[in-house]
Amino acid sequence: MSAAAPPSAGVRRPSLTRQLLLWSLGALVLVWGSFVFMGYQTGVHEADELTDGHLASVSALLLNLRANAVGEAPQVTPRVATPWLKSHDYQQSLSVVQWDAQGRLLHHSGSAPMPAFSAAEGFANMALGAEGVVWRSFSQWDAARERKVMVLLELRERDELAQDIAEQMIEPGLWLLPVVSLALGLALWRGLRPLYALSADVAALDPASTQRLASRHAWSEFESVVASINTLLDRQQAAMVRERRLANEVAHELRTPLSSIALQASALGGALDADARAQAIARIGQDALRAGHVLNQLLALARASRAELHEAKAPVDLCAVARQVCADFAQAAWQRGDDIALSAPQALWVSGHVLLLDIAARNLVENALKHTPEGTHIAVQVGASEGGGAWLQVCDDGARSRVDDPSAEGVGSPPDSLHLGHEILRRVADIHGGEFGPAPAVPPFTTCFRLDLPPAVVTPPG
């Protein structure tokens, strides 16, 4: 049996490594994207709180400072450039406005346009100036409600600060993603090396040899796979041995009658007297029947294999099968002077293939008729075993008949040297999970062959 042909080079098979890598990276990107989104939102939220807290802190600080003069114009305090500070050093853009209780301006510093006075306190977004620029503000009265302080920051700068903080939080993730992806790919490749080795060893196996998978694949995940492959190889080897032996035996069994037919046919072409010619023709007929019997056995083997593959087991009345077989062979037994007796209960249901069980019963009875002298007593027996299974056996006293009458017809007949009938019965037993072989013969019988079937839960039809 040759190894399976490799897949076509033009057909690209899906890769398990690529599949695992894609799924792992997809899950990683999904989780990473979720964390980036949450981190960005958290950064924006924390920056907003930081800015609002800063505005409130500056307002509380300024309430403790006294303004002695009423301010007439905004005062902008210049600040020395500090390039070493970050670009979002927003403190230099804070604007401060102070009023007294009557709403008179006490102090105004910063670049914010002058807001309108109101008694409201707390945070607010204000659109100031001709261009309507939005400012974030916090205003607060002192304890005596004599002065009110408002601190303002342009909303754009606050958003830029929030974005900067959020980007600083997600930036490590942007650099980490490709590094983790590369490390994940290397880890998957390294972790799947045993699978690559197993695949290579399986591809290198030769079904025709006795090679087996090595024990170096003793990973717990591979135990069942390696054991199954080795079991399949053992079964294939056993099947190949049986098929080779069967082929050799079939060739030998057919060679004898075919050679005899050819020899007798050649003799018919010569000068033979009437008796010799009649003997040659009779011998040709016998050899043709023998060859036909071998071919029938081979067909039965083929039907057994086909039934194993394509037919499901069903409830079968083994007693009904035995009764039908006995009825079919009754005429042939009567013509030989034999008698067939059936010993069986009314019904005995088993789970199996009715076709195969019929073939098995017919082979047992046919072998008893074919390889025993005339006048043989044949018994077909069916019964239930102690374990809940069933058995069918055929017994005969053919050996005793040969001893009592050595000249009886059938003694010199060629036996089925290949035991093709027994090979069929063994095949049927294997398909049903049972056993076949010789059984102890109870006198007056001298030979018994028995088919044992395992117990099974069977629900009879109807």
Q: What is the pLDDT of residues 198-251, one digit of tens each?
A: 778 777 777 777 777 766 666 676 777 777 788 888 877 777 777 777 677 667
Among 116, 163, 160, residue whose Cα is nearest residue 137: 116
Could you give the CA distance from residue 167 to residue 175 in angstroms, rounded to a whole number? 12
Residue-wise pLDDT for 238-294, tens only, equals 777 777 776 776 676 677 678 878 877 887 777 777 788 788 788 888 778 777 767
Query: What stretches in the chain show pLDDT beneath 70?
Result: 1-13, 65-92, 214-219, 221, 246, 249-250, 252-253, 256, 293, 297, 300-311, 400-419, 457, 462
Cα separation of 378 and 376, whole Å? 6
Q: How far apart are CA 368 and CA 375, in angstroms?
A: 12
End-to-end CA distance of the chain: 46
Contact 370, 416 (CB under 8 A): yes
Strands (DSSP E) contained in 335-428 are 339-343, 349-352, 377-384, 390-396
What is the reported pLDDT for 377? 94
- Topology, domain 37-77+87-175: Beta-Lactamase (3.30.450)
Are 90 and 51 contacting, i.e. CB atoms less than 8 angstroms apart? yes
Separation of alpha carbons 269 and 2, rounded Å:
46
Contacts of 251 (CB under 8 A, 6+ apart): none
User: Where along the chain do its domains lie?
Assistant: 37-77+87-175, 312-462
| CA–CA gap between residue 410 and residue 397 (Å, rounded) | 13
Q: Which two tokens stand for residue 116?
A: 């309108």
Amino acid at residue number 308: E
Same fold, 37-77+87-175 and 312-462: no
CATH architecture designation of domain 312-462: 2-Layer Sandwich (3.30)
Q: How many helices (H) and strands (E) does the chain have?
A: 9, 12
